[in-house]
Structure 1
Amino acid sequence: MMKLTKKRVVLFLLFIFPLICFLILSTGTNNFTKLPVVTSNVLDVSTLDSSKTFNGNISVVCFLGNDMNSNKGGFFNLNEKIYKKFIEYNQFQIIAVYPKGKESEVEILKKEIGAFTDMVKWKFIAGSEEQITALHAGFNSDDALSSLYTSNVFLIDKNGDLRGRVSDQDSVDGKLFGYNMNSVSVLNAKLKDDVLVLYYEYYAAFKDKNKNKADRKEVGL
């Protein structure tokens, strides 16, 4: 009988176990929980800037507010824990909405965050108070803007739907509409995981589509 040596255990953990996990994920296309839609067809960000859109992108939306300097800790958390994790992913973007007239504060924030970060997928969009309020209200969350700022960030899918959770243990009614960017644990344990689930959801759908095409080709359809 083969002895379970320390070397074999290390080799299993480093090589075999990750391979098993990959095979389970790659074969169980539909055996995962899809990320719930908590609000359908939110107001598109193109209402603020016609050159930007949620459609076709996975977007994390934050509201910078009138006092960015006081709240910048959360924006740094978002950059470190989420943006840097997904910067290489296709169609990923962070939409940062700010009030018109705050361009100088935005430039300072960009400079500070961009000191060690490629800001190519940070999209800063200005809007009037009415436009920003309407965009946020369209999420239908129990969150409220204060001076056009909220510590919550929102996850929008490629179809313009707000994604979140419907059985979140930390939410009063179980519904999670937004993720608190001031909490590193929330960003790590919830938002990062949910973005990954959303990407896998699209990957699984793409894989199924290609499989169906191959099957139809085989039977001559």
Structure 2
Amino acid sequence: MVHNDSQGRLTLATHLHLGDLPDDLDLGPVVAVDSETMGLRYRRDPLCVVQLSSGDGNAHIVRLNRPNYDCPNLKRLLVDPAVLKLFHFARFDIAMFQLYLDVDTWPIYCTKIASKLARTYTDRHGLKDVARELAGVELSKAQQSSDWGNQTLSKDQLAYAASDVLHLHRIRDQLDLMLAREGRAGLAQACFDFLPTRARLDLGGWEEMDIFAHA
């Protein structure tokens, strides 16, 4: 939601939801999504938080109820074919959603894949670098390794979680221009389409193996 302060100035908000998204929340046809976990190992480190933004400068952060993960509204959005989900490094997030939420997220756009296909002049494709160049913002990663399983999320954690989704719409717009210019939009889409299968391979034990390699 967008609010006005006492002087009529536009202010933005970060909304914390416990367990699930509200029943009446409509985030539109393109939603930026990210997640926070207790680590980077699929079955050891549980999914704790999912954050979303419609691209209007507001963030919605869901602290999930563990271990039952009863979040029908969030799950419905993740599988809605009419809603494009934007990620940076979608491969990890959607594997976590497969494992803990039992959903196949679709359709998907991954700004990290798009960056690697479009920004071939650099090897810096982390969100911090991409956001600096394409959205003109400096992101802090100070809370990246904090305790996301805590029952109470700090203001710094909420701000960090929000920052990971607030700029993905602008980043996608710039990457789309670059992909079209370089004739790689179709290749990018084919990669996005493969991501749910890539996530299933990761969960099945092939996360470190290039199955297309000769060896």
Question: Structure 2-normalised TM-score?
Answer: 0.30
- Greater helix share, structure number: 1
Question: Structure 1-normalised TM-score?
Answer: 0.30
Larger Rg: 1
**Per chain length, whose mean CA-contact separation is higher, i.e. which structure has more relative contact order (CA < 8 Å, sep 6+)?**
1
